[in-house]
Chains A and B, each alone.
Chain A
Amino acid sequence: MRKGWSAKSALAIGTAVLVSVGIFSSPAKAAAEPMTITIWTFGDVIQRDLVQQYKVLHPEITLEIKKSDLDPLNGTALVTSCADYLRTKRLGTPPDVVAIEVSYSGYWRSYPQCFQDLRQMHTSDANVAGGIVAGKSATDMKKDYLGWRWEHGVGYNDSVIGIPTDVGGLEVAYRVDLFAKAGLPTDRVAVGKLWPTWDAFIATGQKYMKKLSATQKKSGMGFIDNVGTIYAAILNQGTAKYYQNNGTDAGKLIYTTNPQIKNAWDTTIKATTAGIGTRIGQYTADWNTGMNKGTFATILAPAWMMDYIKGQAPDTKGKWDIANLPVSGGNQGGTQLAVPAWSDKKQAAFDFISWYLAPAQELYVFKKYGLFPAASSLYDDAALLNYKDAFFNNAPVGKIYTEGVTKLKPIFEGKLQRAIDQAFGAGLGRVAAKKMTSAKSWEQVMKDLQKVVNP
């Protein structure tokens, strides 16, 4: 009996193997060697549609897309893999392509030894059918992309470790209906003119707050969803944040002396004390609810957030519009695709990246999924400039975000960027929660940072 059972199960397993092998190997052409390229990614960086298009171009290549819930931005896993490689110099372990989020760019720019310098790679003739000229290196591609976004993928030693996918951009999403109720202008150009400076933005917020009834105020209504977001917006409008590139992997820390930081801090505190924000944290349940209920009239929104708003508050269609950010453009988010130094399929990986991030593909992704392209060669493309969004009151979002992102300058990001950002964020949070005065909280941030930057 036992024997009969195992024979039967062996037969079943055998059939399953045959069937699955048959399904997965049938499209492969006999001529090309089958190959698997492993990609570590997150969110919507790698789009299913384009993966299928690449399958048509290269039936022999299987793209293995991996996402991790526990380590969503591939932070720790990549450190482990690279440490392993540096110790053993062993090639051929995954991944062949990795997605690096902008918040990690500062860290990875300090470790170019973990990545293939893409200046030394040249496209093969594999994707000529897909519109990619053979023999192009990252140096040749640079001109197609937004300068300051390109810099996120450049190591401290000038090697190119990653090529940008999308750019977040940052503009003000505002509620037309709520602005009208408060007696503010509703036309997006007029709204943008309300706030040439951040101080004017705060003053507009105070005007809005005055029009709210006492019960509305008590129920937690405010002008902007979270004043904390102003800090990062102002910081990105400058030319330097916490670091200066001095050619070493550590970089030079300038957070104590950079006036832009104090300016961003003080303006955020001013907005906090003016009481124009709701203090709701972004991406919380309260935030999603507030978006539907009209608890706040403005959000500082990167391009990719438009999709989020549509998903969370579908009933507010047509009530939103997009106006310019005060002072200049802004940014929040974005990703680079990189090839780890330990991949043994670097050519195929680079061929994939150069095709996937080519302007034509980035435009496709923008139209289909709303991720704003980092390929600046598209910025005079009519398809992009004429793109309007019905959900946002037919705002020409393509044009608005294009103008915004081209205003920014490159900023050098350093190794401990994330930790320093976190300390400043916590400091602003303490003031917002009325746990500390601004001066005391700033002092605390400096103390905490001493612990972060000193070994």
Chain B
Amino acid sequence: MSVTKSGQGRRKAPLSPWKNKKPKEAKVLPGVASLDGRWGFLFVAPFFFMFLVFGLAPVIYSVYISFFQWDPLGGSTFAGLHNFYNLIHDSDLWLAIRNTFSIWALSTFPQMFMAIGFAAILRNKRLKGKSFWRTILLVPNITSVIAITIVFQQLFGRDFGMINYVLTLFGLGHHIDFIEGVIPSHIAIATMITWRWIGYNTLIFLASMLAIPDELYESASVDGASKWKQFVYVTLPGLRNTITFVIVVGTIGGLQVFAEPQQFAPDGGSSKQFLTLTLFLYNQAFVNNKYGYAAAIGIVITFIVMIISAVNFLITRKISDAGSR
């Protein structure tokens, strides 16, 4: 309201009917217009309060813990950089980094191609039962991870699993051990992650595809482009930012993979072949009771995420620059 008042006060006479109309339109939303900066703080305060209590405080506390031999139930002694020194020399850390990135790559990229494919199918205007398909795609995402793992363990069973059964039907290998093998176990875990997240990503790609103006497709087809060429030259460039988004979100999720390998084997496999970073952290804290060491692992994970975020940021900027050119 104050805005409209001062606006009218400064101007003596309306210059044109258009200008006259504008202040009237603003009147429709007096509530929002009257809010000044101070009220804004009140509205965002709940988030920042929760963030400080449940987000920032534990982070600071775990940085503190990482400099100690920390026993929550007994005495704790200051250890300086001892935990970090040990961590760098711990072969398990490097193994966990290898496993985490391998599982991340195996789950993110195939999933993205499939999700774009599904989205392209769902975008089809002649598809029957659209909302049914869109809904059903999200079902794996709301299913419990534990339930998914139990079902997939049956599928991936070495002796009686369905996947091994199908493979032997085609004469491909016999009784692949999806738990003991390094790559097979990564594939099995990546499959579970893909199964859970593919529907979510499909919907994101679908939303992004629906935002591409129909005119572009029309003019492309007037120019004689086939469906495939339309997909390559109209759809994919339009998805550029979404692809980056999906990769960024996938990376953050990928560094937190925990429940799937933990359900496969709590120690990450006999030779730690699918020990991921978060599982490594969890086991150090809650099996080996090395809380300080686990906190140090948490900090290393944070640094890895920061590096990846920086790389992502640079790539995103480059892509959006290229897009705007």
Contact = CB atoms under 8 A, between A and B. Distances in A.
Task: For the complex of A and B, list the 9 residue pairs with the smallest distance between their C-beta atoms, beginning with the closest.
Answer: A429-B270, A285-B154, A83-B72, A433-B180, A220-B159, A286-B157, A426-B270, A289-B160, A430-B270
A435 B271 contact: yes
A433 B270 contact: yes
Nearest to B156: A285
8 contacts: A280-B158, A285-B160, A418-B287, A419-B289, A425-B267, A429-B269, A433-B271, A455-B69
A35 interface: no
A455 B286 contact: no
Interface of A: 69, 75-76, 79-80, 82-83, 86, 107, 111, 113-114, 219-220, 249, 278-281, 284-286, 289-290, 293, 295, 415-416, 418-419, 422, 425-430, 432-433, 435-436, 451-452, 455
Given A249-B74, A285-B157, 14 more contacts: A82-B72, A111-B73, A219-B159, A278-B159, A280-B159, A281-B179, A284-B153, A290-B160, A415-B289, A422-B287, A430-B271, A432-B270, A433-B180, A455-B69
Nearest to B150: A285
Contacts of B92: 451
A79 B73 contact: yes
Given A86-B73, A435-B180, A455-B69, A284 B157 contact: yes
B285 to A, nearest CB: 8
A114 B103 CA distance: 40
Contacts of A219: 159
Interface of B: 69, 72-74, 79, 82, 86, 90, 92, 146, 150, 153-154, 157-161, 175, 177, 179-180, 266-267, 269-272, 286-290
B267 A286 contact: no
Contacts of B267: 422, 425-426
Nearest to B159: A220
B137 to A, nearest CB: 26
B271 A416 contact: no
Nearest to A114: B73
B79 A455 contact: yes
Contacts of B157: 284-286, 289
Nearest to B86: A451
Nearest to A448: B92
Contacts of A415: 289
Contacts of A220: 159, 175
B270 A286 contact: no
A113 B71 CA distance: 14
A290 B271 contact: no
A429 B288 CA distance: 20
Contacts of B287: 418-419, 422
Of A249, A426, A427, A430, most buried by chain B (CB within 10 Å of CB) is A426
A427 B290 CA distance: 21
B180 A286 contact: no
A113 B73 contact: yes
B286 A76 contact: yes
B288 A416 contact: yes
Nearest to A71: B286
